[in-house]
């Protein structure tokens, strides 16, 4: 039985090149991981984690379940290509194993089986296999057709915008797209000339053979098919399709606990090469969808890093809202990668704040840290103080006067050395106070206190602390006759995972509407401190769009738990905007009745409802 023909060479050489390229890269990347990450791999490799990783490879890399959630047609397109091709290769290998009675064959044999054995007479399973192969080929061809259609009309796939591809990716894409039509033609012409094939290739062969010289076209089309495969394999490591093998590696490493660090590591290389440039991250990005800011979205940022062409204008023009991070089907840790880039690009300076003079410390049980933004909102400050006084808490309002920033805005700008200096100063004050609890009314401060300061005391966001006070009956409430909507701040919601406690507190006070975009899907108010580049009119567009969504079912008030969000919304909102502390202060039963908060939310509705 002949098992070789020169036409297999492009495929085989391409495959050898690809295998060598991947082996070198993956070996280097894994070898260069930080020591503690390599230990995690060693510990995890012979445990259940490897099985879970395999399961994830099946459900995401092959079936693309996360993409089905974005849009079913989009999911089918990706799955038919990925899973279809995988099954085609697998079935082809099984077919040739059966045919050659278990003897091993060169790797190209399963791929080009129909060339070498177009219509084997003594093969018991020929009918079954040729049916399976034809069916799989048909599924893949529908996927290719959809992929081509998506380039023209992406909106039918639930994507208003899709990735703008560079030339290299377009070439790789073209070679990928012709592989399966060429296989289809090669097998059809073979079927027309030598028989064999099943419902797809046999009928197509008969049809094409009726007006084309099928026998002459057999050999050229098999050559073309091999060339297309060879070109695709050669281009793969340098294109978006590197994600195909790399995301498998990523899934395994992630299961073992390997993760991004504050600085770029070789794990970052693995993540950025796992980005398929699918473009699903573009629509959720409000910079793209509302403010028409292009070229800065995660897909392009990761591409810039891969091409070693990052710039400050791109990495700093991001709200760090996390909407892209949440929807990424590959689960790339986009936010950490961007933060590491910002840190790399920033100018680190030591002792920039030696001018900060001694700040007086007060001993207390609870420290209330307003934050820079809260300090510009007197009503929020007053509400918090009223509540703390009413509950008779022994508190210290740490940044009432002579305050320094918590340090997170500097961190978001990549200036870690400067941030650490402020953090050290604040930490000394916090420790000196002897307090057991730190409460802050700003989610930006909360995130840095919780994650970076490494304090020995409890750190709470004020929505959590206020809920605790109410549940412990240290504060009693009269319900308000108001319908309101709650806005999840980016840093509190996606940033810290706190969605339910503010809602639990608000539900005790008034009637909460839900919003079409809430919790993990909440929109950003546009006031983000993480974006240094966006202009004020661009921010306004984002704010107005977010307001439109939030006020869709006509609430009386918009409630948020972040001073930056409150200030951003209050300037443009058609309804009252209140912080959660103000709402509680308003509904709070005060021992001293003279202290009642007189601001009305709605003029035509009686405000207080008799406590039940």
Partner 1 sequence: MKDFGYTINRDRQIDYDALPRDVYHQLKKMEPSVNACISCGTCAATCTAGQFTDFSLRRYILLLRRGDNSEVIKNIDKCMLCGKCMLACPMGVNTRNVIQSIQLIINKL
By CB under 8 A, residue 373 contacts partner 1: yes
Q: Which is nearer to partner 1, 45 or 356 (CB)?
A: 356
Contact track, partner 1, 32-51, x by CB under 8 A? --------------------
By CB under 8 A, residue 537 contacts partner 1: yes
Q: Which is nearer to partner 1, 472 or 535 (CB)?
A: 535
Q: Which is nearer to partner 1, 92 or 443 (CB)?
A: 443
Q: How far is the CB of 451 from partner 1 (least distance, A)?
A: 18
Residue 542 near residue 290 (C-beta atoms within 8 A): yes
Phi then psi for residue 90, to 5 deg, are -65, -50
By CB under 8 A, residue 349 contacts partner 1: yes
**Nearest-CA neighbor of 231 among 173, 317, 314, 151?**
173
Tell me the two tokens of residue 215. 């026998």
By CB under 8 A, residue 567 contacts partner 1: yes
By CB under 8 A, residue 296 contacts partner 1: no
Q: Is 6 exposed, middle or buried (0-12, 13-18, 19+ CB in 10 A)?
A: exposed
**CA 416 to CA 344: how far, in whole Å?**
10
Residue 430 near residue 438 (C-beta atoms within 8 A): yes
Q: Which is nearer to partner 1, 223 or 397 (CB)?
A: 397
Phi then psi for residue 204, to 5 deg, are -65, -40
By CB under 8 A, residue 403 contacts partner 1: yes
Q: Which stretch binds partner 1 (CB under 8 A): 43-51, 76-84, 286-294, 530-538?
A: 530-538
**CA 145 to CA 139: how far, in whole Å?**
10
The dihedral through the CA atoms of 494, 499, 501, 505 has a sign that is positive
Residues 374, 379, 382, CA angle at the centre, nearest 5°? Answer: 90
Contact track, partner 1, 302-321, x by CB under 8 A? ----------x---x-----
Which residue bears the tokens 């002949």?
2
Q: Which is nearer to partner 1, 79 or 534 (CB)?
A: 534
Q: How far is the CB of 564 from partner 1 (least distance, A)?
A: 8
Q: Which is nearer to partner 1, 210 or 357 (CB)?
A: 357
Q: How far is the CB of 549 from partner 1 (least distance, A)?
A: 23
By CB under 8 A, residue 203 contacts partner 1: no
By CB under 8 A, residue 457 contacts partner 1: no
Using CB under 8 A, pick the residue from 1, 48, 309, 347 that binds partner 1.
Answer: 347
**Nearest-CA neighbor of 218 among 241, 240, 186?**
186
Report the half-sphere exposure of 464 (CA within 13 A, side-chain side). 17
By CB under 8 A, residue 353 contacts partner 1: yes
By CB under 8 A, residue 448 contacts partner 1: no
**Nearest-CA neighbor of 411 among 358, 379, 448?**
448
By CB under 8 A, residue 87 contacts partner 1: no
For 129-165, the three-class secondary structure string (H helix, E strand, C coil) is: HHHHHHHHHHHHHHHHHHHHHHHHCHHHHCCCCCCCC
Tell me the two tokens of residue 284. 């959720």
Q: How far is the CB of 484 from partner 1 (least distance, A)?
A: 24
By CB under 8 A, residue 400 contacts partner 1: no
Q: Helix or strand or coil: residue 511? A: strand
Q: Which is nearer to partner 1, 313 or 500 (CB)?
A: 313
By CB under 8 A, residue 532 contacts partner 1: yes
Q: How far is the CB of 357 from partner 1 (least distance, A)?
A: 6
By CB under 8 A, residue 243 contacts partner 1: no
DSSP letters of 508-569? HHSEEEP-SS-GGGPPP-S--SS-SS--HHHHHHHHHHHHHHHTTT--SEEEES-HHHHHHH
Using CB under 8 A, pick the residue from 263, 376, 424, 589 that binds partner 1.
Answer: 376
Residue 172 near residue 235 (C-beta atoms within 8 A): yes
Tell me the two tokens of residue 398. 């740490």
By CB under 8 A, residue 410 contacts partner 1: yes
By CB under 8 A, residue 420 contacts partner 1: no
By CB under 8 A, residue 542 contacts partner 1: no
Residues 602, 605, 606, CA angle at the centre, nearest 5°? Answer: 115
By CB under 8 A, residue 111 contacts partner 1: no
Q: Which is nearer to partner 1, 479 or 533 (CB)?
A: 533
Q: Which is nearer to partner 1, 413 or 475 (CB)?
A: 413
By CB under 8 A, residue 128 contacts partner 1: no
**CA 174 to CA 227: how far, in whole Å?**
13
Q: Which stretch binds partner 1 (CB under 8 A): 331-339, 346-354, 482-490, 496-504?
A: 346-354
Q: Which is nearer to partner 1, 16 or 311 (CB)?
A: 311
Q: Which is nearer to partner 1, 22 or 352 (CB)?
A: 352
Q: Which is nearer to partner 1, 313 or 471 (CB)?
A: 313
Q: Which is nearer to partner 1, 347 or 611 (CB)?
A: 347
Q: How many residues does the chain have?
A: 612
Residue 265 near residue 34 (C-beta atoms within 8 A): yes
Q: How far is the CB of 374 from partner 1 (least distance, A)?
A: 11
Judged by CB under 8 A, how many residues of this single chain contact partner 1?
33
Phi then psi for residue 2, to 5 deg, are -80, 135
By CB under 8 A, residue 104 contacts partner 1: no
Residue 225 near residue 217 (C-beta atoms within 8 A): no
By CB under 8 A, residue 333 contacts partner 1: no
Helix ranges (H only) for 274-392 are 286-289, 298-306, 312-315, 323-327, 334-345, 378-390
- Residue 346 burial (CB count, 10 A): 19
Q: Which stretch binds partner 1 (CB under 8 A): 17-25, 153-161, 499-507, 529-537?
A: 529-537
Using CB under 8 A, pick the residue from 30, 145, 165, 529 that binds partner 1.
Answer: 529
Helix ranges (H only) for 372-492 are 378-390, 408-412, 416-433, 443-451, 462-471
List Cβ neighbours of 529 (8 Å cut-off, separation of 6 or more).
Answer: 408, 409, 412, 444, 564
By CB under 8 A, residue 360 contacts partner 1: no
By CB under 8 A, residue 564 contacts partner 1: yes
By CB under 8 A, residue 170 contacts partner 1: no
Q: Which is nearer to partner 1, 291 or 405 (CB)?
A: 405
Q: Which residues of 550-588 are buried (b: 16+ CB within 10 A; e: fewer)?
A: bbeeebbbbbbbbbbbbbbbeeebebbbbbbbbbbbbbb
Which residues of the chain form contacts with partner 1 (CB under 8 A)? 312, 316, 347, 349, 352-353, 355-357, 372-373, 375-376, 402-405, 407, 409-410, 413, 415, 418, 422, 529, 532-537, 564, 567
């Amino acid at each position: 039985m002949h098992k070789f023909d020169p036409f297999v060479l492009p495929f085989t050489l391409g495959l050898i090149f690809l295998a060598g390229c991947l082996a070198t890269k993956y070996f280097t990347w894994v070898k260069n991981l930080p020591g503690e990450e390599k230990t995690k791999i060693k510990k995890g490799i012979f445990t259940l984690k490897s099985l879970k990783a395999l399961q994830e490879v099946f459900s995401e890399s092959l079936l693309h379940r996360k993409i089905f959630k974005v849009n079913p047609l989009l999911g089918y397109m990706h799955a038919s290509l990925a899973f279809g091709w995988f099954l085609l290769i697998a079935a082809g290998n099984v077919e040739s194993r059966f045919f050659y009675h278990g003897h091993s064959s060169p790797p190209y044999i399963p791929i080009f089986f129909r060339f070498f054995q177009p219509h084997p007479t003594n093969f018991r399973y020929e009918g079954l296999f040729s049916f399976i192969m034809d069916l799989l080929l048909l599924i893949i061809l529908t996927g290719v057709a959809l992929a081509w259609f998506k380039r023209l009309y992406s909106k039918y796939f639930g994507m208003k915008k899709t990735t703008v591809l560079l030339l290299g990716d377009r070439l790789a894409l073209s070679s990928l797209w012709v592989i399966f039509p060429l296989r289809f033609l090669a097998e059809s012409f073979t079927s027309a000339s030598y028989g064999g094939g099943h419902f797809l290739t046999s009928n197509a062969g008969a049809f094409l053979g009726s007006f084309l010289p099928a026998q002459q076209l057999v050999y050229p089309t098999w050559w073309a098919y091999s060339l297309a495969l060879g070109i695709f394999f050669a281009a793969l490591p340098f294109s978006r399709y590197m994600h195909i093998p790399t995301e498998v590696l990523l899934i395994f490493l992630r299961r073992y606990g390997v993760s991004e660090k504050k600085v770029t590591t070789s794990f970052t290389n693995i993540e950025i090469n796992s980005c398929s440039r699918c473009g699903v991250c573009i629509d959720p990005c409000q910079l793209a969808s509302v403010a028409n800011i292009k070229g800065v979205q995660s897909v392009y940022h990761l591409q810039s890093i891969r091409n070693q062409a990052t710039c400050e204008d791109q990495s700093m023009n991001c709200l760090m809202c996390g909407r892209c991070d949440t929807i990424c089907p590959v689960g790339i840790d986009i936010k950490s990668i961007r933060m590491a880039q910002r840190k790399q690009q920033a100018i680190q300076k030591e002792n920039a704040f030696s001018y900060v003079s001694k700040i007086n410390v007060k001993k207390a049980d609870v420290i209330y840290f307003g934050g820079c933004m809260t300090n510009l909102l007197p009503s929020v400050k007053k509400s918090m103080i009223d509540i703390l006084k009413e509950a008779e808490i022994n508190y210290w309002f740490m940044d009432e006067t002579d305050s320094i920033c918590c340090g997170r805005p500097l961190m978001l700008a990549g200036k870690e050395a400067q941030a650490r200096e402020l953090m050290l100063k604040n930490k000394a004050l916090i420790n000196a106070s002897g307090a057991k609890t730190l409460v802050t009314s700003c989610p930006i401060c909360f995130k840095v206190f919780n994650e970076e300061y490494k304090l020995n005391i409890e750190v709470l966001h004020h929505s959590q602390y206020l809920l605790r006070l109410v549940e412990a009956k240290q504060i009693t409430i009269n319900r308000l006759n108001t319908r309101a909507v709650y806005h999840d701040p980016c840093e509190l919601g996606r940033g810290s995972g706190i969605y339910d406690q503010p809602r639990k507190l608000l539900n005790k006070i008034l009637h909460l509407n839900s919003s079409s975009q809430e919790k993990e899907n909440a929109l950003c108010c546009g006031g983000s401190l993480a974006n240094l580049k966006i202009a004020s009119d661009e921010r306004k567009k984002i704010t107005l769009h977010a307001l439109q969504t939030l006020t869709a079912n006509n609430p009386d008030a918009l409630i948020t738990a972040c001073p930056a969000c409150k200030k951003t919304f209050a300037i443009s909102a058609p309804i009252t905007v209140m912080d959660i502390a103000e709402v509680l202060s308003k509904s709070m039963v005060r021992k001293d009745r003279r202290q009642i908060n007189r601001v009305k939310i709605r003029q035509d509705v009686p405000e207080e409802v008799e406590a039940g």
